[in-house]
Amino acid sequence: MKKIVVVGNTGPRVRSDCELKLELKSGGGISINLQSKVKAMYGDSITRTLKDGLDFFEIKDAVIDINDSGALQFVHMARLEAAVKSLVKTEKNLLPELSEYNMYQSSRDRFRFSRLYLPGNTPSMMLNAGLHSPDGIILDLEDSVAPSKKHEARFLVRNALRQVNFYGAERMVRINQGERGIEDLEYVLPHNVHLILVPKCESSEHLVELAKRSEKILADNNIKQDIYFMPIIESALGVEKAYEISSAVDNVVAIAIGLEDYTADLGVQRTNEGSESLYARLRLVNAAKAAKIQPIDSVFSDVSDMEALKANAKKSKSYGFEGMGCIHPRQIDVIKNSFAPEPEEIRKASDIVKAFREAEDKGLGVVSIGSKMIDPPVVARAHRIINLAKKLNLIPDDMDNNEND
């Protein structure tokens, strides 16, 4: 039986984390050896948290060596639990309190212009991410977490969902592929996650299985809220099955494309210009619109080129996408501004709605602006632009566009 395990992270660039070594003994009681720059102020608190955790798991004899880099209590608890469960079989969960500021809900049609990816085993990146005001924050259990760290990342992501202030952002988790991803659901669904990103999705059957497992987990925990899914298309096969995936289950609210893996699957280089992925992106948009869900574009990997990002986002919007992924906070505002209605769009939409109302008032069956005829789909799109502008506070909320007239 294994008696020693090491979890967490340490090193000169590590912040808000700790490395914890747990050794189980056959006697001798509890011994905790703490190294920390904040030991003078918080040493007693850290030691008490670890002792209480060992007592919770009914461990009476153990040695903990912990190298702390300013971790918060929920991180210490996650690292300890990961270590204990690597050595001892137990059904107990060492949960921090669920903070009241994390109790808000989401909705099917909320804006998802920007979603910020955060590595699921790096707490320092989680703590202030909400201050950058992304529409969604993704705690990632998949590609950004090394295989050897995936077990411990589950506890950290779970505790972050309970403790970290997301400042109103949609609370997202990207699970792993296959059976490991299904197992991830047990760790995150009971802790007020809003949306699950499903990586490298290639079949509707996988989403059906995820939905069934989710329903059971929520029922077992007496949770009534809806959990949404955003499958990510990252292969040629996934692109060909985009509509099937988009309409697999009712809880799919958006579908995203991951261009790094998609272009690798094609055997081509990804470019900023994007001609190599145009077919896939347009097909995904069409599938999403047919299924009445949101199409979401890939991340833009060059975090230093804001002009190229802006051009890419504008092009993405012109294709029909309704958002993009972010890998750095500096990308958020550029993306959100690029997807928001521009002043000229709002002006034209207002002119169309005004012309439509005037035609209705006169009992005319034909709507026109100058010499250009305006048909119902154009009027409907104008209403959507105005409503979006209102929600983004770009125009007064009391501006009446008479959408339901």
Tens-place pLDDT, residues 61-95: 999 999 999 999 999 999 999 999 999 999 999 99
Token couple for 150: 């995936």
Q: Mean of the pLDDT values across residues 342-367?
A: 82
**Tell me: the pLDDT tens digits for 312-333?**
999 999 999 999 999 999 999 9
Predicted pLDDT at 25:
94
Integer Cα distance of 66 and 83 in angstroms: 12
pLDDT of 160 higher than 60? yes
Predicted pLDDT at 400:
54
Nearest residue to 16 (alpha-carbon basis) of 36, 45, 44, 41: 36
Residue 146: count of CB within 10 angstroms of its CB: 10
DSSP string computed for 320-337 = T---EEESSTTHHHHHHH
> CA 28 → CA 272, 325, 392, distances in Å?
61, 51, 62
Q: Mean of the pLDDT values across residues 115-133?
A: 96
Nearest residue to 8 (alpha-carbon basis) of 16, 18, 36: 18
DSSP category for residue 31: E
Q: Mean of the pLDDT values across residues 385-400?
A: 78
Question: What is the four-CA torsion angle of 150, 156, 162, 168, rounded to 10 degrees?
Answer: -80
Q: Mean of the pLDDT values across residues 36-45?
A: 96
- Cβ–Cβ under 8 Å, residues 401 and 386: yes
- The confidence band for 404, taking pLDDT boundaries of 50, 70 and 90, is very low
Please name each of the domains of the chain with its CATH number.
4-87 (3.30.230.10), 101-339 (3.20.20.60), 343-391 (no CATH)
pLDDT of 97 higher than 50? yes
